[in-house]
Structure 1
Amino acid sequence: MDVTELTATEIAAGVRDGRFTATTVVERHLARIEEVNPRVNAVTVVLAEKAREAAAALDARIAAGRDPGPLAGVPITVKENIDLTSSATTSGLPFAANHVPPANATFVDRLLAAGAIPVGRGNMPDFGLRWDTDNDLFGRTINPWDPARVPGGSSGGDAVAVATGMAAAGLGNDYGGSLRLPAHAAGITALRPSAGRVAAPGRGVEPLPLSLQHMAVNGPLARSVADLDLIFGLMHGADDVDPLSVTVAHPAGYDGPRRVAVTVDPAGWGDVDAGVIAAIRSAAGALAAAGWEVEEVEPPAVDRCATLWRQLSSTENAPMLLTPGLLPGPLSEGTLRYFRDNVAEVDLLDTSAAYQAAWAERFVHAAAWRAFHARYPVVLGPVTTRPMPEIGYDLSGPAAATALWRAHRLLVTANFLGLPAVAVPTGTSGRRPLGVQVIARLHGEHIALAAARDIEAAFPAITPIRPA
């Protein structure tokens, strides 16, 4: 097996015990980028020189008898909106093409200290505000399973890079499914941590929308649940800048109640694809076989949680995105069209009373979910209720924007409530990866990871792949 097909855990073990050098690992992944990336456009900037320097330094460290770290030689990608001093933090925006940050994000520094080696930047849509990956600065990322369909977003570049073996893991973020959806589309795993568990993507404090600060979080993408666990265990924790970040212990494993609430059609909206239903039932069977008590029961108020997520995110982003001249430069036509279509079917919270009431209602639903999780530590359901759409579908009018939001209702419910969730694949159907997500209580990443690990064990790995 080629080193580009190994998981992050396997690569780190091989470098640590001398089966191969960090330099060998990096060179193979750089060669894979050169081979594959022209066909998928997932990696925006190749950090070849810096990666080679880091690999040589790590090999020298090992030769000197020093500990290379738990991620020794693991090649990673870093999304375009996460600060990395090797290149600009663009967020997919042409007017930010020269915005090189003065420092790495805190969690990036933690992974570098653990031996990880960035080999490239991952593509994304402008500001991460589409469920697709396309922008005017770097262009479109191609879904390697089916080029006619979107790769998901907004961490689509990192997901495709990991799925095709250009990196062993990626770093992205999740405001409305932006880790889990592209991971699902690519046939890999992703962890959306609890709100605050991972510090901000930069060291500066910016006046961001409140919804972005409370519903968005940074996390890992990888080809195995064990890799997610390993990487999250190293990157989580507060820093001295992000006032919303927290440090909570991350237990090794889970030995609590093993009960699962299965939702096949969250909120009962009746739009669930047959392949999605089959994937959920298969995952439920895998958990039952692994000793979990499985019951089909609906979690609380998915309809209201999804609706409030859409109202709050739209209300807070509309002034920034739709006010002429407010940004230093233009957004891509695709992002503007999608956002206008989205807002067209949203009841914006245009009074202070309505806005305050929405945030107050969030606490009511968070309390209901906490009580529900006390009975069912894991909620199992769809990542999206429909197959990944064809390119351009999200720009085909307000009805399409609403249909996508409906399909992603369980995704955004986790964001609205700040809950941890893991996307995990369950095989393929033709040219389409299948998968599910599991959602745990606040700070229950170890619970979600335990359930995801048992699901993963029942299905064969389906990556890395070469583009179709």
Structure 2
Amino acid sequence: MELWQLSATELAAGIRTRTISAVEAVRSCLDRIEAVNPALNALVDVRPDEALADARRADEDVAAGRPLGPLHGVPVSTKINTGQEGRLNSHGLAATAQAQAPGDDACVAALREAGAVFLGRSNAPAFSMRWFSANDVHGRTLNPWSPAHTPGGSSGGAASGVAAGMTPIGQGNDIAGSIRYPAACCGLVGIRPTVGLVSGWSYPGDMELEGPLTFQAWAVHGPLTRTVADARLALYAMATPDLRDPFGVPAVHRVTPRGPVRVAVVRDVGLAAPHPAVGAALD
């Protein structure tokens, strides 16, 4: 098994215990990106030299015995509608094709603080308002399982990249299904957390201003991963309070249930029935 095939949980544990190095993990994912991304177009603005430099610093921190975050050395992608300092923040629009964020949005800052190594920006439709992932700036993203099927939107680039093994974690955001639908299309775990758990504070494009309050309130950030354990790890790494966010609430990372945990399953939402195979899996 190659390192790009490991989960984020496995990579984080291996890097922390020096069983593997962050450089090895990042290089394996970069090799995977080079092999499959030209056909899938999941990630844009990939900068291998910067990623490897960050990975080397991560390994130095481990060797020096410095405090390590939960995602220390783990490769992650971020979405083109989410500010990452000095990286493309195009929103898939020709008018802002070269826009670069002046700083990290709060959720990206939380991932950085957790030790994540950013490999590239994931594609999305213009304004992130479509159920597929294509735009006039970066082109169309394909589903790694079948190029004839959509990877979903709007976090389709993140979903395609994670499903194809480019990164074990993809940051996405969701107003009306933009994490959940791509996760379903690509066979992943995706979670849209409750508003306020992950800070929505953001930069709009390349302006040193606060993003629109409506977008911060509606577009909830969350992870796309290949395993439930990775979704938990990534979610709580992102769930860092930010005083700039009026909706922010303190995260509760561990809860001891008072009794048996019950889950409600709604089979009929009044709009469409689930596929029989999906219904059978819930029985």
Shift of 1:201: 5.2
Cα displacement string for residues 302-345 of structure 1 (whole angstroms, at most 9, x for unaligned residues): xxxxxxxxxxxxxxxxxxxxxxxxxxxxxxxxxxxxxxxxxxxx
SS at match of 1:266: coil
Distance 1:253 1:166, change over 3 A: farther
Structure 2 residue 236 is matched with structure 1 residue 233: yes
CA distance in 2, matches of 1:154, 1:255: 38
Measured in 1, the distance between the counterparts of 2:165 and 2:135 equals 23
SS class of match (1:261) = coil
**Whole-Å Cα distance in 1 between the matches of residues 218 and 263 of structure 2?**
24
State the AA in 1 paired with 2:17.
D
How many angstroms apart in 1 are the aligned matches of 2:47 and 2:200? 23
Tell me how far 1:238 sits from its aligned partner.
3.0
Letter in 2 for 1:218: H
Q: Which residue of 1 aligns with 2:188?
A: 188
Deviation per residue, 1:237-272 (Å, 9 max, x gap):
4312222222242325645443333322212x4x43
Does 1:246 pair with 2:249? yes
CA contact (8 A) 1:47 1:86 kept: no
Q: What is the rounded CA distance, in whole Å, between the counterparts of 1:113 and 1:56 in structure 2?
A: 16
Q: Retained in 2: the 8 A contact 1:198–1:219? A: yes
Label 1:124 to 1:253 Cα distance change in 2 as closer, same or farther (>3 A).
Answer: farther
What is the rounded CA distance, in whole Å, between the counterparts of 2:72 and 2:242 in structure 1? 23
Who is 2:273 aligned against?
272
Query: 1:119 and 2:119 equivalent?
Result: yes
How far apart in 1 are the matches of 2:41 and 2:78?
14
Cα distance in 1 for partners of 2:125, 2:26 equals 27
Deviations 1:365-413 (A, max 9, x none): xxxxxxxxxxxxxxxxxxxxxxxxxxxxxxxxxxxxxxxxxxxxxxxxx
List aligned pairs for 1:193-232, cutoff 5 A.
Answer: 193-200=193-200, 202-203=202-203, 204-207=209-212, 210=214, 212-232=215-235
Between Structure 1 and Structure 2, how many residues are aligned? 278
Q: Distance in 2 between matches of 1:35 and 1:16?
A: 28
**Alignment deviations for residues 415-466 of structure 1 (CA, whole Å, 9 cap, x no partner):** xxxxxxxxxxxxxxxxxxxxxxxxxxxxxxxxxxxxxxxxxxxxxxxxxxxx
Name the structure with the higher helix share. 1
Shift of 1:19: 1.3
CA distance, structure 2, for counterparts of residue 235 and residue 260 of structure 1: 24
Quick one: which amino acid aligns to residue 153 of structure 1? G
Using a 3 Å threshold, how does the CA distance of structure 1 residues 36 and 265 change in structure 2: closer, same or farther? same
Give the Cα–Cα distance (whole angstroms) in 2 for the partners of residues 121 and 255 of structure 1: 42
Q: 1:144 to 1:50 in 2, by over 3 A?
A: same
Do 1:88 and 1:96's aligned partners in 2 also have CA atoms closer than 8 Å?
no
Distance 1:81 1:245, change over 3 A: same
Structure 1 residue 79 displacement after superposition: 0.3
Residue 17 of structure 2 aligns with which residue? Answer: 17
- Closer, same or farther: CA 179–123 of 1 in aligned 2, 3 Å: same
Q: Is the 8 Å Cα contact of residues 86 and 102 (structure 2) preserved in structure 1?
A: no
Computed over aligned residues only, the root mean square deviation of the Cα atoms, in angstroms, reads 1.8
Secondary structure, aligned partner of 2:152 = coil
- Give, in whole Å, the separation in 2 of the partners of 1:213 and 1:134: 23
Q: What residue ranges of structure 1 are gaps of 5+ in the alignment?
A: 286-468
Partner of 2:206: none
Question: What TM-score results when the alignment is normalised by the length of structure 2?
Answer: 0.92
The answer to whether the 8 A contact 1:81-1:201 is kept is no
CA deviation digits over 1:115-140, x for unaligned, max 9? 11010110000111001100000000
1:62 is paired with a residue of what secondary structure?
helix
Name stretches of at least 5 consecutive residues in structure 2 with no aligned partner.
204-208
- 1:202 deviates by 1.7
Alignment of 1:41-190 (within 5 A): 41-190=41-190
Per-residue CA deviation, residues 55-92 of structure 1 (Å, 9 max, x unaligned), is 01011111212233221211000000111114121111
Give the whole-Å Cα distance in 1 for the aligned partners of 2:23 and 2:68. 13
Q: Which residue is equivalent to 1:321?
A: none
CA distance in 2 between counterparts of 1:170 and 1:86 reads 19
Q: Where does 1:292-441 land on structure 2 (aligned, <5 Å)?
A: none
Structure 1 residues 256 and 80, CA gap change in structure 2 (3 angstroms): farther
What TM-score, normalized to structure 1? 0.57
CA contact (8 A) 2:201 2:211 kept: no
